[in-house]
């Protein structure tokens, strides 16, 4: 093998320029990175376009289609003006500071902060008050009470999702 020069890849057959430290390779770098490249990378036309069994299947015709999405109501509530207003009021009350670690989001240091329903979770309020629509949510005072909210940074908020140990 040459120390430097062009070598033909044993997988895809493309000619690749290799530097001195890569002289023991028989594969090009794009074919040897198995965790980044699918196994069928070098097979031309395999499962692409009309050969793909899901080609042209959209919406309810696609095999991965889910009829009733689980968190659709949550998403609809979180996009309302009242939710954004509640979120802003919680941030203002807490002075844009994480209530667990104390990090503050200011103009010079941007920290991604999130509003967290605490001590009663958002999903628990929806379940307890039997909220089935956005209109029901807008009427529920407990959902919009800023005393049931706190400001957390993303790092502190991630472990609290789905459970309340903190």
Q: What does the pLDDT read at residue 98?
A: 93
Enter the DSSP assignment of 67: S
Q: What does the pLDDT read at residue 86?
A: 97
Phi, psi of 97, deg, nearest 5: -120, 135
Query: pTM score, two decimals?
Result: 0.58
- Which stretches in the chain have pLDDT values below 70? 1-8, 10, 16-48, 69-70, 162-166
Distance CA 97, CA 109 (A): 12
Q: What does the pLDDT read at residue 2?
A: 41
Q: Six-digit token pair at 125?
A: 């309020």
Q: What does the pLDDT read at residue 64?
A: 82
Q: What is the bridge-based pairing of β-strands 15-18 and 5-8?
A: antiparallel
Q: What does the pLDDT read at residue 44?
A: 61
Q: Number of helices and strands (H, E) in the chain?
A: 6, 4
Q: Six-digit token pair at 79?
A: 């996009």
């Amino acid at each position: 093998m040459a120390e430097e020069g062009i070598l033909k890849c044993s997988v895809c057959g493309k000619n690749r320029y290799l530097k001195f430290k890569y002289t023991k390779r028989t594969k090009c770098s794009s074919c040897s990175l198995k965790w980044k490249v699918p196994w069928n990378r070098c097979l031309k036309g395999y499962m692409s376009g009309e050969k793909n069994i899901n080609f042209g299947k959209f919406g309810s015709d696609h095999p991965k289609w889910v009829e009733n999405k689980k968190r659709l109501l949550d998403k609809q509530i979180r996009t309302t003006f009242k939710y954004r207003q509640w979120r802003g009021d919680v941030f203002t009350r807490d002075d844009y500071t994480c209530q667990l670690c104390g990090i503050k989001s200011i103009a010079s240091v941007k920290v991604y902060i999130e509003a967290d329903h605490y001590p009663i979770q958002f999903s628990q309020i929806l379940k307890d008050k039997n909220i089935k629509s956005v209109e029901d949510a807008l009427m529920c005072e407990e959902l919009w009470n800023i005393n049931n909210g706190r400001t957390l940074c993303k790092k502190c908020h991630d472990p609290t999702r789905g459970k309340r140990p903190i």
